[in-house]
A and B are shown apart, each in its own frame.
Chain A
Amino acid sequence: MPVGRKRLSSIRPVPESSPAPQPDSEPPATPSTWFWRGAFAGVTSVQGLVLFASMVGFGGLCRDIGFPLGAAMLSTLLVWALPAQVLVVGGYAAGSATAVIALAVGLSSIRMFPMTAAIMPYLRGRGAGLGTQLLAAHFVAVTAWIEGMRRLPAMAPEARVPFFFGIGTFLILSATFATLIGFLLAGMLPRSLAAGLLFLTPLSFLIQLAHNARDLVDRLSLAFGLLLAPFFAAYGGRLDLLWTGLAGGAAAWAVHRFLKKRKEKGGA
């Protein structure tokens, strides 16, 4: 394939039309081309749009709570996981102990473990050293992960890492910008719209969690978590989120084990 020669003609970064996940019908592709294609995929992503609006909502939440703008933007850049960010800001507002917030964040971010583990096989080929992999893993959050898992498998191996860095960089920067916008707009928006932005976080989480649910355990733990949360919020004290997660997850897992055992017995 005539790869090297193409380089001169493909300096222009963003392809005019990038029909989604159809790779190499024409093999262009320096890493920088793939990087910009990834960024462009971020621009056109529905999940990206929701993320932008959610981060506007997060910025507004920070303003309401009295969390400083710089720290709000830093949390989008560094934490890069909206549930964790909401836990930090909520914990700050509630005056929770740092260790308690860190524990709750650590538990909610356990999610990053299977997500990252699932996407890494696509991101460690061809000269991606440990440093590159750790950096790529930082981009893993619901939005980048959904788009990555959808598009990466169909792409040429050498395209995946730069593509993922492109979409990840675009999403993280636009989300940081959205945090700024939300913070600045919080005082000016009509109250109804401000409420709408704040509401984007729980609404989009719920729908995306349901959308990502792969199996019975996902669906049951989602349902159990929703049902148990009011109870633990009333009686669970400061660790209510943790108790809800453990109880809901354990119950879902128990159902899964029970069905699996019964199936095995029935099959034997």
Chain B
Amino acid sequence: MIDAALWPYLLVILAGFLPTEVWRSVAVIFARRLDEDSEALIFVRGVATALLAAVVARLVLIPPGELEAVPLFVRVGAVVAGFLVYLGARRSVFLGILFGEIVIVAGAWYFG
């Protein structure tokens, strides 16, 4: 049996590194034949984006660690506020993130 202390390292390699690196490597090999606008790639890109969006939603709705203590409406409010500032500030990623952070930290301080 594998030593329990080594398990997280093995998990990183087996479940994290290999399934990620395989896509990078395959992309290198097939880059020459790839058509960026082929329908299959558009579909795959859509699935990947929706999946990342699900990661976002999950982290906001079912949060880990310290975030659990912050009420749901503050978490959702912080994401919405950050996104609106991003749009309003001529699509400034920095300002959007900064504002969302201010809301969540203030909320965590007030309710914590």
Alpha-carbon distance between A116 and B98 when the two chains are bound, in angstroms: 29
Question: For window 12-51 of chain B, which residues contact chain A by CB distance below 8 Å?
Answer: 12-28, 30-31, 34, 36, 39, 41-51
Residues of chain A within 8 A (CB-CB) of B39 are 253, 257
Question: For window 225-263 of chain A, which residues contact chain B by CB distance below 8 Å?
Answer: 225-226, 228-230, 232-233, 240-242, 244-250, 252-253, 256-257
Residue of A88, A111, A192 touching B52 (CB-CB under 8 A): A111
Question: For window 202-235 of chain A, which residues contact chain B by CB distance below 8 Å?
Answer: 202-211, 213, 217-218, 220-226, 228-230, 232-233
Alpha-carbon distance between A64 and B100 when the two chains are bound, in angstroms: 22
| Closest-CB distance, A189 to chain B (whole angstroms) | 9
Alpha-carbon distance between A102 and B22 when the two chains are bound, in angstroms: 12
A184 at the interface (CB under 8 A from B): no
**Nearest residue in A to B45 (C-beta to C-beta)?**
A114
Alpha-carbon distance between A102 and B25 when the two chains are bound, in angstroms: 17
Residues of chain B within 8 A (CB-CB) of A256 are 42, 46
Residues of chain B within 8 A (CB-CB) of A65 are 64-65
Q: Do A98 and B14 have beta carbons less than 8 Å apart?
A: yes
**Nearest residue in A to B75 (C-beta to C-beta)?**
A199
| Closest-CB distance, B68 to chain A (whole angstroms) | 9
Q: Do B15 and A102 have beta carbons less than 8 Å apart?
A: yes
Residue of B24, B55, B109 touching A202 (CB-CB under 8 A): B55
The size bracket of the interface on B is: 35 or more
Residues of chain B within 8 A (CB-CB) of A98 are 11, 14-15
Q: Do B64 and A196 have beta carbons less than 8 Å apart?
A: no
Q: Do A93 and B64 have beta carbons less than 8 Å apart?
A: yes
Q: Do A113 and B44 have beta carbons less than 8 Å apart?
A: yes
Residue of B23, B75, B100 touching A116 (CB-CB under 8 A): B23
Q: Do B12 and A116 have beta carbons less than 8 Å apart?
A: no
Alpha-carbon distance between A103 and B27 when the two chains are bound, in angstroms: 18
Q: Do A78 and B17 have beta carbons less than 8 Å apart?
A: yes
A108 at the interface (CB under 8 A from B): yes
Task: Assess A225 versus B57: contact at CB under 8 Å? Given A85-B16, A249-B50.
Answer: yes
Question: For window 48-64 of chain B, which residues contact chain A by CB distance below 8 Å?
Answer: 48-64
What 1/0 mask marks residues of chain B from 60 to 101 whose CB sits below 8 Å from any chain A CB? 111111110110000100110011001000010110110011
Alpha-carbon distance between A61 and B58 when the two chains are bound, in angstroms: 15
Question: For window 65-84 of chain A, which residues contact chain B by CB distance below 8 Å?
Answer: 65, 67-68, 70-71, 74-75, 78-81, 83-84
Q: Do A79 and B49 have beta carbons less than 8 Å apart?
A: no
Alpha-carbon distance between A50 and B43 when the two chains are bound, in angstroms: 29
Alpha-carbon distance between A70 and B7 when the two chains are bound, in angstroms: 12
Alpha-carbon distance between A159 and B66 when the two chains are bound, in angstroms: 44
Q: Do A226 and B104 have beta carbons less than 8 Å apart?
A: no
Q: Do A225 and B53 have beta carbons less than 8 Å apart?
A: yes
Going nearest first, the 4 A-B pairs with the smallest beta carbon separation are A225-B53, A248-B50, A245-B51, A249-B47
Which residue numbers of A lie inside 8 Å of B, CB to CB?
46-47, 49-50, 60-61, 64-65, 67-68, 70-71, 74-75, 78-81, 83-88, 90-93, 98, 101-103, 105-118, 120-121, 124, 130, 133-134, 137-138, 140, 190-196, 198-211, 213, 217-218, 220-226, 228-230, 232-233, 240-242, 244-250, 252-253, 256-257
Which residue numbers of B lie inside 8 Å of A, CB to CB?
5, 8-9, 11-28, 30-31, 34, 36, 39, 41-67, 69-70, 75, 78-79, 82-83, 86, 91, 93-94, 96-97, 100-101, 104-106, 108-109, 112
